[in-house]
Amino acid sequence: MQAKLTIDLDAICKNWRALDALSGQTVETAAVIKADAYGLGADVVGPALKTAGVKTFFVAQAEEGVVLRQAIGAGPRIFNFSGLMAGDAAALAEYDVIPVLNSAEQIAAFTGGPCAVQFDTGMNRLGMEPADAARLRDEITALAPELILSHLACADEPAHKMNAAQLAEFVAMTASFPKIKKSLSATGGVLLGGDFHFDITRPGIGLYGGLPFENAAPVVQLDLPVIQTREVKTGETVGYGNSWTAQKPSKIATVSGGYADGILRSAASASLFADDIACPVIGRISMDLITVDVSGLETVPPMLSLLNSVQTVDVLAGHAGTIGYEILTGLGARYKRRYIGGS
C-alpha cells in the first residue's frame, strides 16, 4: 500500500478567487506555478486554474514553461522569471513562453518579440538596478514589454520598512514607462493592500494553502499507511540512536514514509492523525519509516494522516523549523497522487 497524497484542485481555485477578490476589478490576478506548481503537479493544476479564469501564469525556468504550455494549450500568457538563459530562445519561441529580461545582457541578447522586464527595487537578486534601468530607458521602451515587474523581499512581514521602501523605488523606477503594465506583488504583496497591486498580482504560495494567506483553504492531505503495530514495555527504546524511551507500556505504529519522501527529519515533534486524534511521532524520522505513539487509539486505522486541515503545511513546517514552501516543494515521488475537484 502506497502513501496517498490528495490534492484538492477546487481548493486551489477557491484560493485564487479569494486572492483575486482582494484587488480591484482593473487588476488582473495571475498564478505562479513554478516548481511543478509548488510540488503539486503543474500539468494538472495549470488546466484547473485556466478553467477557473487564470489568463497569465509565471514559471521559473524555460523548461517549466514548456511543460505548462503543453498542459494548458494556447491562450494564457506564460512568463518565465529567469528570462533568456543560454539555449532557451528556441523553446521560448516554440512554446510561446515570454521571457522576463533581468539584465542589460539579457536585453542585449534579446532579438525581439513579447517580453517583460524586471527591475531590482532592493532585493538584490534579479532585475536591473535603478542606474541600469535609467540608462536603458530608450531600449526598454523600444522593446514594448508587456510588463515591468519587481519582487518584494519582506511582504510576509507587513510592518517591515522594506515594503514601503521598495514600493517607493518601484514607483520611481517605472515613472518613465507610464504606458507599460506593472506588477510588484506575490501573495504577501496582495495582502498589503491596493497600493501594492498595480496592474497584475501574481500569487503563488497562497494558492496552495500556505502562509502568509491565513484564510487559505487547505489544499493537500497526506496519508501514510501503517505497516505494523507493536506493544513496547516501560524502558524499551524505539528507533535509531535509542532517542525515545517508553515511560510506560505503549502501543507503537510504524508507518511508511520518511525523509526520502520529503518528510524532514527535523519534524520529529509533529504528530500523525487518526481523524482528529493526534498521535505523536516518536524517535527519529528515518528514510522510509516513522514511528508513532498510538496508545490513545482503541483501533489503529490502516492509514494515519501527516498533512490535513489541522496539521497544515505551515504547522508541519513549524515543527521542522522551516517554511511551508519547503514542505510542499519537497513532497516526494513515491506518493500515489489523487486529485479531487477541478472539473
Catalytic residue among 34, 38, 50, 335: 34
- CA separation for the pair 208, 33 (Å, rounded): 10
- CA separation for the pair 343, 324 (Å, rounded): 27
- CA separation for the pair 327, 155 (Å, rounded): 20
Q: Which of 23, 21, 45, 44 shows the shortest CA–CA distance to 32?
A: 45
38 classed as catalytic: no
Contacts of 291 (CB under 8 A, 6+ apart): 238, 239, 244, 252, 253, 254, 255, 281, 282, 283
Read off the C-alpha cell for 183.
506588477
- CA separation for the pair 210, 324 (Å, rounded): 6
Largest CA distance in the chain: 77
Contacts of 24 (CB under 8 A, 6+ apart): 194, 197
Residue spans of alpha helices (H) in 73-136: 89-94, 104-109, 130-135
Catalytic residue among 55, 240, 336, 339: 240
208 classed as catalytic: no
- What residues act catalytically? 34, 240
